[in-house]
Amino acid sequence: ALTISHCHQAQQALSHLRFNDSWKRTYVSCTSNGLRPTVDAPSSTLLHHQLQTDPSRTVYSDVLYHAWRCAAGRIRREWLTRDNLAREDAQLFSPEEFNASYARTNTPVVLRGACKHWQACAKWSDADTLSHLCGNHATFNAGGLHFTMRDYIQYARSVSANVGADDQPLYLFDKNFTQSAPKLASDYEVPQYFSDDLFALLDGTQHRPDFRWLIVGPPRSGSSFHKDPNATSAWNAVVSGAKKWILFPPQVTSPPGVTPSDDGCEVRTPLSLQEWFMNYYEQARAHPMVLEGICEAGDVLFVPRGWWHAAMNLDRNSRDGCEVELTVAITQNFVSREALPHVLHFLRTPRGATHAAHISGVASHLRASLLSVFEEHLEQNAPGALAHARNVLRMNDTQRLQTTSIWKRL
């Protein structure tokens, strides 16, 4: 982690980062004698002398051993065998059935084959084609570092091939991909089940929260436990590769090994998903409310509002003996009509001076006004949905007051 931090500082003088087998080698290549790796002169040919005299080779540490243990660990088959997620065949399942069975009940479901017709599934599954579509100059965010797609793919391949290369594989999670690589935007579409997004009324305004991300990662990378922002729901479409999902419902305070702050703004988790699985998976599996399963290429997972969830990218070696280098996915957050009362409640709930910290995806100076601007657009474009949501909130407020009154009389 310390070497990655140094690489982050060194990157400030560079347009983007090129990984070189390990973070130690990458740091040396960024800082030694002004040398920079190039396509024609890769950094591995520039570092032999520097690494021969590297004093860190004589360092021994239990802390560093734990990091190496996570980096060298493989995805265990027993982590992948259980599957209790609901599944529906997208060819046979209508949006009306989805709303009745899953959206209104706030229940996760895997929609099998819901995105298999996308151009993205044909194009992006080939790493070289994906790199070409992204161009040579566009950069993408991966763990706070910025890579061209070509360099990120090279990093991911290196991590996949070299045991111990990285205990926390960087996860490309980029919200600006449609601007950085416009060709990607036309290769996918919002699945029909999620076309009703009331936050889309804010398109073209500064108040539109961040809502879509391109996700790319090697095996063992992924997203640690969290709830989606602003009380929104989400869909996650696997374009290539596969993901292992674990989810806990809103009534669960926190998953094993996860500690949220009192105000919910921060979540403390193990440093890597591999570490969480090694230390906490068996405890999580025994929980009576946990849901888990695998999404394959072409599948779309519905993640309802308020659910804790984590996802790990897989390799085929852990399942059927055929290596997959990268998992590529698209995810979007959205506000359905069913979830609107919860979103309005989240945005309006007084939280004192720290209220703005709970709202994400918009500039900090706009967070306090997000609710009023959103309600204004709802009044103009979806007055029925707003009226229904306000009615639900009034009934909930009345019920809470009645409950409080009963306890006061006891």
Q: Is the pLDDT of residue 67 over 50?
A: yes
* Domain assignment of residue 250, yes or no: yes
Helix or strand (DSSP H, E) at 183 = none
393 shares a domain with 272 = no
Are 360 and 239 in a shared domain? Answer: no
Per-chain mean pLDDT for the chain:
85
At residue 158, the pLDDT reads 87
Q: What's the pLDDT at 252? A: 97
Q: Which of 186-190, 247-251, 272-276, 317-321 has the lowest mean pLDDT?
A: 317-321
pLDDT band per the 50, 70, 90 thresholds, residue 86: very high
What is the residue range of 374's domain? Answer: 342-398
Across 98-107, 157-166, 178-187, least confident range: 157-166
Per-residue pLDDT at 3: 56
The closest of 323, 172, 300 to 243, measured between CA atoms, is: 300
The reported pLDDT for the residue numbered 109 is: 99
pLDDT band at 89 (very low <50, low <70, confident <90, very high): very high
Q: Domain with 189 in it: what CATH number?
A: 2.60.120.650
Co-location of 391 and 291 in the same domain: no
Total of domains in the chain? 3
| Residue 30: per-residue pLDDT | 63
User: Using 50, 70 and 90 to split pLDDT, how confident is the model at 46?
Assistant: very low
User: Other C-beta atoms within 10 Å of 34: how many?
Assistant: 7
Same domain, 142 and 175: yes
CB atoms within 10 A of CB 77: 10
User: Is residue 293 located within the same domain as residue 346?
Assistant: no
Same-domain pairing of 229 and 152:
yes
Percent of the chain with pLDDT over 90: 66
pLDDT-derived band at 27, boundaries 50, 70, 90 = low
Find the distance separating the first CA and the last CA of the chain, reported in whole Å.
54
Taking a C-beta distance cutoff of 8 angstroms, is the pair 256, 284 a contact?
A: yes
Domain identity same for 138 and 234: yes
Whether residue 17 is contained in a domain is answered as: yes
Do 144 and 18 belong together in one domain? no
Residue 404 resides in a domain: no
Q: Is residue 408 a part of any domain in this protein?
A: no
367 and 267: one domain? Answer: no
Q: How confident is the model at residue 18 (pLDDT cuts 50, 70, 90)?
A: confident
Per-residue pLDDT tens over the stretch 284-338 = 999 999 999 999 999 999 999 999 999 999 986 555 544 557 999 999 999 999 9
Q: Is residue 64 part of a domain?
A: no
Task: Examine the fold and report which residue of 14, 31, 59 is the final residue of a domain before the chain moves on.
Answer: 59
Asked if 120 and 238 sit in the same domain, the reply is yes
Picking from 336, 366, 382, the residue at the C-terminal end of a domain is 336
- Please identify, among 282, 309, 336, the residue that sits at the C-terminal boundary of a domain: 336
Are 308 and 254 in contact, with CB atoms under 8 Å apart? yes
Give the span between the Cα atoms of 321 and 229, in whole angstroms.
Answer: 37
